[in-house]
């Protein structure tokens, strides 16, 4: 929703202004209107602002900027800019096959702080690991990459469905028996980033 | 509450302070794109707002409004 954050800030400022009014002139609450004003200022608006804030944070968490804000994710972000068409994430990112500002979330829908309940707990654990326990040397997915993430765009696409190779293994791909990454294996490969030429994004 | 009960006013002030502080923290976290911002929003901002709201509810629930003074007029009729 456009201007969501601005609306939220306006709600916060209104709540604070009304709270100040009630606190500085408590005699206002003697009248029925004053009581309603206090109820709005102390209860309705703060709860509304908190709910809107939660929603805004959930939206922010889907952005590429959010994912790459953790230092350990930096090489993964760089892998999106590798100037090599064989690199799957780079190819998707650079050719707008996924929205650039939501790149991570588009392909890792089950792997964010705000996915299902399990993913949320993992997200909190990541914060703990990041700040307190120490980040492991090798970062890897908790479970094998699910073909569902590829098929929610590619299933039904002509170039995908009409490829002879895909036709042969279509059932296996659909049931996750064969991973898409078995053939398309140049994924983030952060270990091989050194020396790779990077594509420079030009702003229109 | 024309002559506001000082205890109620004190509680309202504290509730107002907690809610305002919580809301300001919540609003500030919106301009910070980092997982920690969410934690600060929820654990610090959310807790302060919740405390303030609870204190407000407690203060109005326990506030005894003064009873109107008994009338000195004799009952009519009879």
Q: Distance, in angstroms, between A43 CA and closest chain B CA?
A: 6
- Residues A60-85 pLDDT 10s: 888 899 889 988 899 999 999 999 98
This model of the complex carries an ipTM of 0.80
Contact list, A124 vs chain B (CB under 8 Å): 39
Enumerate the domain spans of chain B.
22-63
B33·A50 Cβ contact <8 A:
no
Can you tell me whether residue A198 is helix, strand or coil? strand
Closest CA to A80 of A51, A47, A107, A52: A107
- Residues A168-190 pLDDT 10s: 999 999 999 999 999 998 999 88
Task: Tell whether B45 is within 8 A of chain A (Cβ).
Answer: yes
With beta carbons less than 8 A apart as the criterion, state whether B53 and A76 touch.
Answer: no
Q: Distance, in angstroms, between A100 CA and closest chain B CA?
A: 16
What pTM, to 2 d.p., does this model score?
Answer: 0.78
Average pLDDT, chain B: 84
- Residues B27-42 pLDDT 10s: 999 988 888 898 899 9
Interface test with B, best of A10, A24, A42, A115 (most B CBs within 10 A): A42
Contact list, B47 vs chain A (CB under 8 Å): none
CA-nearest residue to A41 within chain B is B16
Alpha helices in chain A (DSSP H): 4-24, 32-39, 45-60, 64-67, 74-79, 88-94, 103-107, 117-128, 148-154, 158-161, 164-168, 170-174
Q: Distance, in angstroms, between A9 CA and closest chain B CA?
A: 6
């Amino acid at each position: 929703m456009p201007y969501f954050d601005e609306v939220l800030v306006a709600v916060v400022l209104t709540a604070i202004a009304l709270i100040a009014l009630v606190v500085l002139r408590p005699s206002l609450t003697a009248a029925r209107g004053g009581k309603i004003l206090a109820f709005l200022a102390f209860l309705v608006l703060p709860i509304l602002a908190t709910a809107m804030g939660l929603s805004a944070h959930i939206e922010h968490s889907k952005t590429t900027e959010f994912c790459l804000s953790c230092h350990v994710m930096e090489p993964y972000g760089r892998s999106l800019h590798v100037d090599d068409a064989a690199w799957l994430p780079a190819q998707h990112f650079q050719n707008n096959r996924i929205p650039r500002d939501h790149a991570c979330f588009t392909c890792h829908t089950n792997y964010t702080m705000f996915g299902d309940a399990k993913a949320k707990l993992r997200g909190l654990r990541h914060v703990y690991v990041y700040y307190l326990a120490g980040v492991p040397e090798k970062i890897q997915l908790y479970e094998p990459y699910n073909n569902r993430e590829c098929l929610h765009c590619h299933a039904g696409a002509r170039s995908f469905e009409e490829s002879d190779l895909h036709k042969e293994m279509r059932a296996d791909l659909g049931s996750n028996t064969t991973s898409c990454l078995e053939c398309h294996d140049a994924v983030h490969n952060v270990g091989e980033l050194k020396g790779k030429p990077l594509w420079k994004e030009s702003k229109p | 509450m024309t002559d506001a009960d000082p205890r109620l006013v004190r509680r309202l002030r504290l509730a107002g302070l907690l809610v305002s502080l919580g809301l300001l923290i919540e609003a500030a976290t919106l301009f910070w794109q980092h997982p920690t911002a969410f934690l600060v929003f929820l654990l610090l901002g959310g807790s302060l707002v919740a405390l303030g709201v609870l204190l407000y509810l407690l203060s109005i629930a326990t506030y005894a409004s003064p009873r109107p003074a008994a009338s000195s007029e004799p009952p009519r009729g009879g």
